[in-house]
DNA sequence: TCAAAAATACCACAATCGTGCGATTGTGCC
DNA sequence: GGCACAATCGCACGATTGTGGTATTTTTGA
């Protein structure tokens, strides 16, 4: 508790990038920015991971997506295993949405085009530290599209409330008898409801109902 | 082909917003921006939808998410039905991610906080016209999180290739006999395989296997 | 108020399923 | 050679399912 006289601690960043020229540029850019400090710059994930064994993890890692050796995607996973609280921003030359998308799924918090303006770099870092995910409109669209695709408008088979209820029990794997007991109705009634569900969904086996229910998000 | 002397056509926008003060501010902001033109401003979705019947649709609609009458979400759906090529940007007072998320799923191309800077507004419009989706880091995180949730790491139950194959047939609703015929093996063999699958997945009904297969993305 | 829709209940029977056994063959591995 | 494992095949039997009916009561909507 001696010499905390100047300011609050800087945000610490690490840089993993094999292009020495770009590495230098980025390194300087960060260290010249108020409140940020680029502690280390590495040429490969392997080196950075090695360093993590005996150094405090940074708050943010800027990680080239196209590294030799362990590539960025694998890198994200490894880093996140070791220090899950560290935010990782991918660096890419081009707007390759597939790769970026994979990186996000692997745990990255955003990505930056390498030719981004210094302001944009700093803005991204701030965004991820605030808990956000930093991406551009193009990637955002990819993700929203994919999301919509995974959430197709659910088909309407005009199931009644009771039928939906029973469908949900079928999906959990209950037998007719178990459903009857659960709803305090007769086995025969459940039988009838199931017959009606089968007819409405155009299926004729348990397996058919359940697949259809999952595929079309009926449950 | 007569008087195309001045410039390329302006980007046409419509504004749907019931707060008259904000409506005026935004209207002026847009019309003062080079290359943009706010053709109409409406107080409600109903009015704008009415106008669409006899006016050319705009390239972009700025749509308040919290309108009286038909709200923004329903509005997006209606607009998109009538003029799917029109990009819609939602206007929100607060960063309400659930609503914004619904809007995006309903077809919106982005959203703007109402206190965004004029530059941010124009930037968003440009982004959506370029085919992107405009959102901030906070919403982006929500969506990426949701996406990850939909793609959980698949459990490994050490199913053999044959078992996986049979599992996939089970999911499509085939009976033991049908599977046997399809694979040119005996009914009894299929029976055995299914028994083993049940044991490995810790289930004991057809329904159980299929739900588990879907929930854990085994197929 | 009256008809339609939904929920309830019952019966019977063939088909299919789940599960208890046991057994042979081929393959890879130490 | 011996061991583990996957794939194959077999039998038996009780449990459950799917399907063909019919029929009553309650709820809903026009």
3-state secondary structure A154-204: CCCCCCCHHHHHHHHHHHHCCCHHHHHHHHCCCHHHHHHHHHHHHHHHCCC
Q: Which nucleotides of C are covered by protein (CB under 7 A)?
A: 5-12, 16-23
> In Å, what is the separation between the CA of A10 and the C1' of D24?
78
Distance from CA of A108 to the nearest CA of B (A): 10
Q: What dotted CATH number matches A11-139?
A: 3.40.50.2300
- What is the spatial distance between Cα B87 and Cα B58, in angstroms, rounded to a whole number? 9
Distance from CA of B132 to the nearest CA of A (A): 4
> What confidence score (pLDDT) does residue B153 get?
64
β-bridge mates for residue B134, sequence order:
B110
- Mapped onto helix, strand or coil, the DSSP state of residue B64 is strand
pLDDT tens-digit map of A34-70 = 999 999 999 999 999 999 999 999 999 999 998 988 8
> In Å, what is the separation between the CA of B137 and the C1' of C28?
53
Tokens 């990426």 correspond to what residue? B144
High-pLDDT (> 70) share of chain A, %: 93
Q: Is A172 on the interface with B (CB under 8 A)?
A: yes
Q: Is the CB of A163 under 7 A from strand C?
A: yes
Cβ neighbour number for residue B150 with a 10 Å cutoff: 12
Nearest by Cα to B111 from B131, B126, B132, B133: B133
Domains A11-139 and A151-215 share a fold: no
Q: Do A175 and B144 touch (CB under 8 A)?
A: no
CB-CB contact of A170 with A206 (8 Å) = yes
Distance from CA of B5 to the nearest CA of A (A): 33
Name the residue of chain B whose CA is nearest to A126's CA. B137
Enter the pTM of the model: 0.67
User: Hey, of B119, B141, B197, B204, which one would you mutate to test binding to chain A, going by the most A CBs within 10 A of its CB?
Assistant: B141
Largest CA distance in chain B: 82
The correct CATH number of B151-215 out of 3.40.50.2000, 1.10.357.10, 1.10.3720.10, 1.10.10.10 is: 1.10.10.10
Mutual angle of helices A45-52 and A72-82, in 10-degree steps:
10
pLDDT tens-digit map of A76-124 = 999 998 999 999 999 988 777 778 878 888 899 998 888 888 888 999 9
Domain boundaries, given as residue ranges, for chain B: 11-139, 151-215
Mutual angle of helices B206-215 and A206-215, in 10-degree steps:
20
> What confidence score (pLDDT) does residue A60 get?
96
> What confidence score (pLDDT) does residue A79 get?
93
Tokens 């280390």 correspond to what residue? A40
Residue B135 has its nearest CB partner, among A140, A175, A210, at A140
- Tell me the pLDDT of chain B (219 aa) as tens digits: 444 444 567 899 999 999 999 999 999 999 999 999 999 999 999 999 999 998 999 999 999 998 888 888 889 989 998 999 999 999 988 777 778 878 888 899 998 888 888 888 899 999 999 999 998 888 888 888 877 776 666 678 899 999 999 999 999 999 999 999 999 999 999 999 999 999 999 999 999 999 999 988 776
pLDDT tens-digit map of A165-197 = 999 999 999 999 999 999 999 999 999 999 999
Q: Please classify residue A7 by burial: count the beta carbons closer than 10 Å to its beta carbon, then call 0-12 exposed, 13-18 middle and 19+ buried.
A: exposed
- pLDDT reading at A5 higher than 60: no
Q: Is the CB of A158 under 7 A from strand C?
A: yes
Q: Is the CB of A160 under 7 A from strand C?
A: yes
Query: What is the secondary structure of chain A as a DSSP string?
Result: -----S-SPPEEEEEE-S-HHHHHHHHHHHHHSTTEEEEEEESSHHHHHHHHTTSPPPSEEEEESS-SSS-HHHHHHHHHHH-TTSEEEEEESS--HHHHHHHHHHT--EEEETT--HHHHHHHHHHHHTT--B--HHHHHHHHHHHHHHSPPPP-----HHHHHHHHHHHHT--HHHHHHHHTS-HHHHHHHHHHHHHHHT--SHHHHHHHHHHTT--
Q: Which nucleotides of D are covered by protein (CB under 7 A)?
A: 5-12, 16-23
- What is the spatial distance between Cα B133 and Cα A90, in angstroms, rounded to a whole number? 20
Q: Is A141 on the interface with B (CB under 8 A)?
A: yes
């Amino acid at each position: 508790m001696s010499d905390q006289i100047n300011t609050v601690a800087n945000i610490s960043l690490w840089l993993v990038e094999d292009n020495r020229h770009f590495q230098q540029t980025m390194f300087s850019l960060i260290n010249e920015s108020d409140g940020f400090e680029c502690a280390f710059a590495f040429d490969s994930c392997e080196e950075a991971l090695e360093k993590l064994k005996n150094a405090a993890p940074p708050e943010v890692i800027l990680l080239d997506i196209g590294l030799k050796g362990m590539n960025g995607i694998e890198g994200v996973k490894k880093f996140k295993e070791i220090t899950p609280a560290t935010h990782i921003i991918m660096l890419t030359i081009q707007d390759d949405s597939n790769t970026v998308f994979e990186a996000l799924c692997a745990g990255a918090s955003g990505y930056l085009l390498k030719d981004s303006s210094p302001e944009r770099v700093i803005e991204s870092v701030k965004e991820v530290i605030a808990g956000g995910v930093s991406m551009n409109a193009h990637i955002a669209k990819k993700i929203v599209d994919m999301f919509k695709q995974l959430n197709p408008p659910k088909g309407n088979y005009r199931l009644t409330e009771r039928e939906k209820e029973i469908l949900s029990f079928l999906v959990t794997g209950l037998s007719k008898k178990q459903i009857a007991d659960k709803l305090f109705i007769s086995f025969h009634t459940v039988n009838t409801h199931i017959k009606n569900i089968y007819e409405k969904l155009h299926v004729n086996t348990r397996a058919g109902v359940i697949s259809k229910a999952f595929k079309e998000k009926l449950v």
